[in-house]
A and B are shown apart, each in its own frame.
Chain A
Amino acid sequence: MLKRKLLAATIAATLCGTSQAAVDINGFASIKGGMALGSGDELYGYDDDFSFKNESLAALQVKSDLGDKLSITAQLLGRGANDWDVKFEWAFLSYDLTDTLRINAGRLRTPFYKYSDFRDVGYAYDWSRVPQSVYGLGFDNIEGASLYHTTTLGNFDSSLQLIVGSYDGDAAIGDAAADAQIDNVTGIAWELGQDGYSFRMAYLVGKTTFYVDQLDNSATGLYAQLRAFGLGSLAGELDIVDESSSFAGIGFNIDKNDWLVVSEITKASVDNSFISDQESYYISIGHRFDNITPYVSFEKEDNDAKTEIYAGVPTASPIFGPVAGLVNQMETERNSINVGVRYDFHPSAAFKAQYTNADNKTADRKDSVLVVGVDLVF
């Protein structure tokens, strides 16, 4: 990694006299082009027009070591899909309590998945993108604090992360834009590794509130209409107001004799709402031939609509259609197959190509997409 060290000696001299602040600047970028292969196919933001914007991104990370175990890290990231608007993806303070215990506070990545922390850093993994069936929760970051503990337990390397915080931002339900607020997020993520094998588990809970205008508008929304029909309790079973939510994930990883196997299984649920329980998994197998790593992976997404919510509503009722439609749109069963290759053609860059075929059994459609590109770190 080409690292540019800048000594902010003058600033340091002004602020604290004796010590100096070392600033590390690192960056990463992915330049990818892709398109859906069949006419009418749509997947991961691609359609049948070739796009270089959809999944390309670039980021700069600045880390300043303030001395005395305190540092600050900020990551500025621009995504092609957002017209390259640059945002602070992360900004946090780190304080090393001991050699093995660190506190981070600020805007952090939520440790849902094995690759959560570096899902944007394509260079760090072999795929063109993390498996979307699993990594599709729709929000990545929270504002909060995390305690990060690394140690060895016998022959195992252990890293344990405890996190508290909240999320306030955009989310999507189907095609509708939603304002999401997830409060009191509390979670644990634990990874154990030894000699090419690792095992990970994560469990997080929170209180979720979604506001979707078509549903929640106090005058015109669906819930207001249900309440006008005297169906307040039905509205309460559908709406997403401060609902208990949980996320559980387990995964393992093998990197042995140039064979690479990785798998994660996750389950997410939002109680007392129309959001379906979301169960997903993937498994990926690859083999490293020196600097060329081909792989295949399989993903499954299985979200069961909570049809029991409207079981008591007569089908002749005028509200049956809207309510059943809302609940049923959360049903998804989708299998995806990926075949791809990573080629380390340069010390700081990898070329990748990946073909994906997604078989959406609920919607009875198959979509395929091909993406090629370069991931680099600098």
Chain B
Amino acid sequence: MLKKLLLIPALTLSFMAFANVAVIVHPSNAATLSQDDINKLFTGRAKSFTDGKAAEPVNLAEGVAIRADFDQKALGRSSSQMKAYWSKLVFTGKGTPPKEMASEQEVLDAVAKNPAAIGYVSAAAVTGGVKVALTLN
């Protein structure tokens, strides 16, 4: 909640605070991805891309601002709802949440290096080393 309170002045100052979320994959990854596919990959309900190749989703830690945008736009839930969702799976041995990285730069590096990886960053942060599979507005 503290995070949201802090966001309010930022929102009033600039439209840039409504960051678009770019879902990124390795440049060699030719799979097409819908929001539903991304939802399934990041909730553990699908484990491979639409072309059948194994997928390794990479998440951002909760402290990174774009994480809440992604949870809301791609998964349709708040970050605490996602935590409750994963605690159901983790504590029943039925699933493991995606690895979490501390910064957008780490996600960019991880996705640039790994042909199986899928992650997300704010659209403005995208670099040439990764391919944007879908932009969530």
Q: Do A and B bind each other?
A: yes
A contacts, CB < 8 Å to B: 1, 3, 24, 26, 28, 59, 61, 63, 71, 73, 75, 90, 92, 94, 99, 102, 104, 109, 117-118, 120-121, 123-125, 148, 150, 152, 157, 290-291, 344-345, 347-348, 350, 377
A109 cross-chain contacts in B, Cβ below 8 A: 92
A24 cross-chain contacts in B, Cβ below 8 A: 96
A61 cross-chain contacts in B, Cβ below 8 A: 90-91
Given A117-B92, A150-B45: 8 more A-B contacts, CB < 8 Å: A1-B83, A75-B91, A92-B93, A118-B91, A148-B94, A291-B80, A348-B83, A350-B80
A26 cross-chain contacts in B, Cβ below 8 A: 90-91
A-B contact pairs, 21 of them (CB 8 A): A1-B83, A1-B86, A1-B97, A24-B96, A26-B90, A26-B91, A71-B93, A75-B91, A99-B47, A102-B94, A104-B93, A117-B88, A118-B87, A120-B91, A121-B87, A121-B88, A123-B84, A290-B78, A347-B62, A347-B79, A377-B83
A344 cross-chain contacts in B, Cβ below 8 A: 1, 80
Nearest Cβ on chain A to B92's Cβ, whole angstroms = 4
How big is chain B's contact interface, by range?
Answer: 20 to 34
Can you list the 3 inter-chain pairs with the closest CB atoms, starting with the nearest? A117-B92, A344-B80, A73-B93
The majority secondary structure among interface residues of chain A is strand
Interface residues of B in 20-75 (CB under 8 A from A): 45, 47-48, 62
B94 cross-chain contacts in A, Cβ below 8 A: 102, 117, 148
Which of A63, A71, A99, A124 has its CB near the most chain B CB atoms (within 10 A)?
Answer: A124
A90–B86 alpha-carbon span in the complex (Å): 18
A344–B84 alpha-carbon span in the complex (Å): 11
A125–B91 alpha-carbon span in the complex (Å): 13
Nearest Cβ on chain A to B49's Cβ, whole angstroms = 12
B47 cross-chain contacts in A, Cβ below 8 A: 99
